[in-house]
Amino acid sequence: MEATNYNRAKAVKAFDESKMGVKGLSDSGITSIPPIFIHPPQTLSDLKSSPSKPTDIPVIDLSDVTSQTHRPKIINQIKQAAKDWGFFQVINHGVPLSVLDRTILAIQAFHDLPHETKAKYYKRDETRGVMYSSNNDLYRTNAASWHDSLQAWMGPERPKVEDLPEICREEVVAWDFHATGVAETVMELLCEGLGLEAGKFKELTFSQRRALVGHCYPYCPQPDLTMGITPHTDPTILTVLLQNSVPGLQVKHGDSWVNVNPVHGGVIVNVGDMLQIITNGEYTSVQHRVLANSRKESRISIVIFFNLSKWKGDGYYGPLPELLSPEKPPIYRDFTAEEYIANFYGKGIDTKSFIEKVAIQD
């Protein structure tokens, strides 16, 4: 076993130092994937056990969101979707289709650059600035996943626009702006769904600290042996996701994995762990995963993670007092921002979720 582990560490290091990324490997024309990407049999058997279902996540039409007649119905739809699925797509959200298309093409264009050009963005400092190929699970878990990502921390004073790759700079800034607008609209509806003031989450500054991640899932010659992204929940408050027309994203619903079929013009929104916690379990953060891509065309997704940056002022996070009552006691304990952040950076993507750690046991 020692020898195997040693070799794996060496192979991981060599892959990392090559700065080729998964796209570089894929483009090199390999017909079998390096062992560091091969997932254990438990993960792989679960891939097979998922019959493709005809169901899809809820699609919510926001076109009449400002109409007093239609708003209550939309609030109800969003509330149900956030409870039952934790994932939904919004359409007619007001962001022009051309903005969505341009964003996807720009991220695709970045990943299509020769790996030598992308290498200058390749780094492992996850806390600042812009970085490429955060194959986070490379070092954290025993099997790396078949994707690359371009990652930028957005928010007050960062990143400096010049730090973003020129090829997608304008589009990243534009999408960050539009996606934040969509997130704010959805958050207002989610607040109203709980009987809170529409601006409650905004007041908690949920949209100030954001991470934008442009994923690329290139063609994988052995999609049955690896994953695009392993099953996980997002540690965020809310996540906004845009995908191109190549499928692969799946959401856990009950005992089955449901495909999130690409809808042109659709923007996917999902509940993160923090939203489940602060709503005392009213909204659900669900597991999702991405299958390794068997098509020649890369799968592109652009994810914006929204994080809370302020709380009551006493430094603690936990279920919102407004949502608690003798009938609805807290099901999660309070915790500090430090504890949350330590968990975020310390865990492998597929280890125990933060929610389980703060759940109050009976």
Ligand X SMILES: O=C(O)CCC(=O)C(=O)O
234 binds Fe ion (CB under 5 A): yes
Provide DSSP, 167-186: GGHHHHHHHHHHHHHHHHHH
Longest dimension (CA), the chain: 67
**Shortest distance, position 241 Cβ to ligand X, whole Å:** 6
Residue that is written with structure tokens 């999408």 in the block:
175
Helices assigned H by DSSP within 194-310: 200-203, 273-278
User: Which span (48-56, 126-134, 234-242, 292-300) binds Fe ion, by CB under 5 A?
Assistant: 234-242
234 binds ligand X (CB under 6 A): yes
93 binds, among Fe ion, ligand X, none (CB under 5 to 8 A by kind): none
User: Which span (14-22, 65-73, 113-121, 230-238) binds Fe ion, by CB under 5 A?
Assistant: 230-238
User: Which span (75-83, 110-118, 241-249, 316-324) binds ligand X, by CB under 6 A?
Assistant: 241-249
What residue ranges in the chain does DSSP mark as E strands?
Answer: 59-61, 87-91, 130-132, 148-154, 209-217, 227-232, 238-243, 249-253, 256-259, 267-271, 288-291, 299-307, 316-317, 335-336
In three-state secondary structure terms, 7 is helix
**Shortest distance, position 337 Cβ to ligand X, whole Å:** 21
Which structure tokens are listed for 325? 């009552």
Contact map string, positions 243 to 272, toward ligand X, x by CB under 6 A: x-----x-----------------------
C-beta of 75 vs 107, nearer to ligand X: 107
**Shortest distance, position 239 Cβ to ligand X, whole Å:** 7
Contact map string, positions 277 to 306, toward ligand X, x by CB under 6 A: -----------x-x----------x-x---
111 binds, among ligand X, Fe ion, none (CB under 5 to 8 A by kind): none
Which structure tokens are listed for 356? 């389980």
In three-state secondary structure terms, 40 is coil
Pick one of 213, 278, 304, 320: the residue that binds ligand X (CB under 6 A): 213
For residues 261 and 62, is the Cβ–Cβ distance under 8 A? no
74 binds, among Fe ion, ligand X, none (CB under 5 to 8 A by kind): none
Pick one of 60, 216, 241, 274: the residue that binds ligand X (CB under 6 A): 241
Beta bridge pairs of residue 90:
60, 267
Strand order in the sheet with 288-291: 227-232, 288-291, 249-253, 256-259
Tell me which residues touch Fe ion (CB under 5 A): 234
Tell me which residues touch ligand X (CB under 6 A): 213, 215, 229, 234, 241, 243, 249, 288, 290, 301, 303
